[in-house]
Structure 1
Amino acid sequence: MLPDSLQREIADKLDASIESATRVSGGSINEAAKLDIEKIGPAFLKWNRTADPDMFEKEVTGLKLLRDAETGLRVPDVILQGTVDGNTGYLLLEFIEDGRPGIQSAQEFGEQLAALHDHHGDSYGLDEDNYIGRLPQSNNRHNDWTNFFIDERMEPQLRMALESGKFRSSITGAFNNMYRELDEIFPEERPSLLHGDLWGGNYFYDTDGGPVIYDPAVYYGHREIELAFTHLFGGFSSAFYEAYDNVLPIEPGFGQRKEIYNLYPLLVHTNLFGGSYARQVEGIVKQFE
């Protein structure tokens, strides 16, 4: 199941033998397996022969930023990261057993996410670009959230969708009209540390009922864009949102703003999968025609 070169790489670097490997679900991008490694025990491995070679390197940076925030949110420890055969990137992580949420788990998660968002940067963005799924994510620094949202989130994904024929060129008029209104729509907020890709598939609860987050696309941004994404596909309880709001209350009108924030993940999904996601984007921006 594992490429021979990848098995040798892990065994040599850890000076330990791989005793067993079991394939597990790794999402739509990577291959993944649970390994039992001599002297270490269980570990989670994911690898990819087709993604950009630095994708896992950027993920390691994101995991470290989340862990260093010390919010109580559990983030898997990195064991190894590298490349074999010139084009097969891999990431070996601590294996965390999936558990069930307890009575206070959702509340704890909401409070800890609020604590993460209470870590602030001097500007929006990050010192390096990274990835959202398998697509590049531009993180050039901006002092203004509206400019960051337009230049680093909307425009790269919109250009990609237009070039691949997902939209007609006429949609740019609605986007430009929306851009002119954003300063009046977005409330002012300091740049918050964000997971960046927080949906129901990128967290779970461990055997103690504690929240675990993974697969980040980290940057400093407006915290509402993260909260909006948690609403897009569901998977977060009312207790989670209530606990968050008790720590960091949201400005009135978020219910109307969240569909604009969610243009970003919807554009990403349009570029990855097409279909109905493009229609959702068109439905949101149509109000600005």
Structure 2
Amino acid sequence: MIPNSVKQQIQQTVDQLITSTQQVSGGSINQAAKITLADGTTCFLKWNTSADPHMFVVEEKGLDLLKSADTTLRIPFVFTTGQTEDNTGFLLQKFIPEGRSKPNSASEFGQALAQLHKHHNETYGLDHDNFIGRLPQSNTPHKNWVDFFIQERMKPQLQMATDSGKLGSDTVSHFENMYKKLPDIFPNEPPSLLHGDLWGGNYFFDQNGNATIYDPAVYYGHREIELAFTHLFGGFPSNFYSAYEENYPLSSGFSQRKDIYNLYPLLVHTNLFGGSYARQVEGIVRQF
């Protein structure tokens, strides 16, 4: 199950034997297992034999940055990341058992996310690039959100989708038309610290009912793009949103803007999976 090269490197790094392993879901990108070390510590291990091994290095950086914001969000502790001689990348983090939400769990989650978004930066982006899923995510800093959204979010993914034939040149023309209208659509706000890939599959409530977030694609961006993504696939209760709004109210008209923000995750999904995601992209951008 776990490649021997990964096992050996982990045991050398933590200076302990792995005494048991249990395969668990690693999502659609990675393979994963729950492992127990000789001292009884339980860990979550994920690895990938085909993706860029650097993916896990920058994921650890992202988790550390989220922790530095000092919110009530629970963020897994990373023991180590590494790369084997056969270019298998891996990440070993503390295993957090999943629990159930309590009456105030969703509200506290919304409040904590608002607190995260109040951590601001002078520019949009980050001091290093990272990944969204297994795709590269460019974080070249910009002082203007519209410029960042177009140059670092829309264009790289759109280019990838057209190069692969998943989207046609007519769709590119619709994007060009949309770009001209964005300065009048997006409200002016400071760059917020974002998880960057916050959908229903990247959080759960632990055994104390605390929101645990993981698998980030961290950068400083417009906080509305994060809120929009939480709506795309569902999984977030209404009191999550009301608590967020109480702590950090959104500008009016967000519901009309969220489809534009969601072009980014939809383009990512188009490049990863194709199919209906491409049609959703085309349906949104044709409105412009």
Q: CA deviation at 1:85?
A: 2.0
Aligned positions of 1:172-187 closer than 5 A:
172-187=172-187
The separation in 2 between residues aligned to 1:129 and 1:83, in whole angstroms, is 19
Give the aligned partner of residue 33 of structure 1. 33
Aligned counterparts of 1:261 and 1:5: Cα–Cα separation in 2: 41
TM-score normalized by structure 1?
Answer: 0.99
1:199 to 2:199 alignment: yes
2:275 aligned partner: 275
Who is 1:254 aligned against?
254
Name the structure 2 match of 1:238. 238
- What's the secondary structure of 1:131's corresponding residue? strand
Which stretch of structure 1 is more off in the superposition, 64-73 or 7-16? 7-16
| Cα distance in structure 1, aligned partners of 2:250 and 2:273 | 32
Could you report, residue by residue, the CA deviation over 1:207-250 in whole angstroms, capped at 9, with x for unpaired residues? 00000000000000000000000000000000000000000001
Secondary structure of 1:181 counterpart: helix
Q: Which residue of 1 aligns with 2:75?
A: 75
Cα distance in 2 for partners of 1:287, 1:198 equals 26
1:55-83 deviation per Cα after TM superposition (whole angstroms, max 9, x unaligned): 00010000000011101100000011111
1:158 corresponds to: 158
Question: How far 1:284 sits from its partner (Å)?
Answer: 0.5
Q: Which moved more, 1:187-196 or 1:5-14?
A: 5-14
Q: Matches of 1:284 and 1:6 in 2, distance apart?
A: 43
In 1: Cα distance, 2:86 partner to 2:61 partner: 21
Percent identity among equivalent residues?
62
- Cα distance in 1 for partners of 2:80, 2:264 equals 31
Shift of 1:144: 0.1
1:61 aligns with 2:61: yes
1:104 alignment counterpart: 104
Which deviates more, 262-271 or 167-176?
Answer: 167-176
**More displaced 10-residue stretch of structure 1: 31-40 or 68-77:** 31-40
Residue aligned with 1:268, SS = helix
Distance 1:180 1:149, change over 3 A: same
Q: In the comparison of the two structures, how many residue pairs are matched?
A: 288
Unaligned residue ranges in structure 1 (runs of 5+): none
Residue 174 of structure 2: SS of its match in structure 1? helix
Deviates most, 211-220 or 32-41 = 32-41
Give the match's secondary structure for 1:209: coil
Structure 2 equivalent of residue 48 of structure 1: 48
- What is the CA distance between 1:40 and its match in structure 2? 4.7
Structure 2 counterpart of 1:111, which letter? Q
Secondary structure of the residue aligned to 1:287 is: coil
Letter matched to residue 14 of structure 1: V
Cα distance in 2, alignment partners of residues 5 and 115 from structure 1: 41
Of residues 23-32 and 165-174 in structure 1, the stretch that sits farther from structure 2 once superposed is 165-174
Cα RMSD of the aligned pairs, angstroms, is 0.7
CA deviation vs aligned residue, 1:116-160 (integer Å, no higher than 9, x gap): 000000100000000000000000000000000000000000000
Instruction: Find the aligned partners of 1:37 and 1:47 in 2 and give their Cα distance.
Output: 17
Partner Cα separation in structure 2 for residue 12 and residue 164 of structure 1: 41
The 3-state SS of whatever aligns with 1:98 is coil
